[in-house]
Amino acid sequence: MCLHYLASLAPQVRCVDLLELYDVKVSVKETGRRIVHGVTARLTKPGIYIVMGPNGAGKSSLANAVMGHEAYRVEGRILLDGQDITGLSTAERALRGLTLASQNPEEIEGVRVSEVFARIIKRFRGVESTAEALGLARELLETLGLPASMLNREYMVGMSGGERKKLELARVLAQKPKVALLDEPDSGVDVESLRLVANAVGRLVDEGSIVVLITHQPRLLHYLEPSEVYVMYNGRVVAVGGYELVERIENEGYGWAAQLARSAGAP
């Protein structure tokens, strides 16, 4: 996610967390092709909300649209803390406490990780001292198994896929968001690191965040206790439930979800 807006951010005042989507439809502006068809959801308290589905189900497009990515056109309504944010820019949504951990975080050449984290921690957590901010940054990196020396590297430049994913998640932790959209934080991460990622997700919830975790593989979910599970197929939410849906996907794949999507009018 683009970090250029950080210079204008002020510390957040925490409010009651609530993310609401009402009949949200998402299309690609350039082609007009609709990717997401009428998603409605209410996330009413801090917790882990899982969005599962095969590749191409519309999960990432929905997350990017909720974050305000300009490549997408959105119909319907998106509310945060009861306020309609559908027409707001990505930066304005970030100011209100929404953030996205992207699958492909941007590289910022010439800017060190320490600079990015110090700025985020000062802006979002109200920390005044650079030394204190960097101390917290080191702790967050260690939470995800990253060395403190990572602070001296250019932001995301020349890093492995696993390093990028873990650094992006550490950045989300630094922001202490109201709502964190995590787009496949488990992809490109080795088995040994899954527990570290799960611990970071748990820390977000402990600090009061709503976490929307997008994945198509159940393996990370073995370490988590989801509040709710949403299953998407062909741009539609076809099932909402608990961990039993994760187990069904593990045992049966997504064939049953495809049948539900077809019964709802999907091709």
Per-residue pLDDT of the chain (267 residues), as tens digits, is: 334 333 334 344 444 448 999 999 999 999 999 999 999 999 999 999 999 999 999 999 999 999 999 999 999 999 999 999 999 999 999 989 999 999 889 999 999 999 999 999 999 999 999 999 999 999 999 999 999 999 999 999 999 988 999 999 999 999 999 999 999 998 878 888 899 999 999 999 999 999 999 998 788 999 999 999 999 999 999 999 999 999 999 999 999 999 999 887 765
- With b for 16 or more beta-carbon neighbours within 10 A and e for fewer, the 162-192 pattern comes to bbbbbbbbbbbbbbbbbbbbbbbbbeebeee
Alpha-carbon distance of 210 to 260, in angstroms, equals 28
Alpha-carbon distance of 121 to 132, in angstroms, equals 9
CATH number of 4-263: 3.40.50.300
pLDDT value at residue 266: 60
pLDDT value at residue 47: 96
- State the maximum Cα–Cα separation within the chain, in Å, rounded to a whole number: 58
Element holding 251 (H helix, E strand): helix 243-252
Closest CA relative to residue 49, chosen from 182, 140, 152, 235: 182
Q: Are strands 236-241 and 228-233 parallel, antiparallel or unpaired?
A: antiparallel
Domain boundaries, the chain: 4-263
Task: Give Cα 100 distance to the centre of its chain.
Answer: 4
pLDDT value at residue 263: 84
Q: Are strands 228-233 and 47-52 parallel, antiparallel or unpaired?
A: parallel
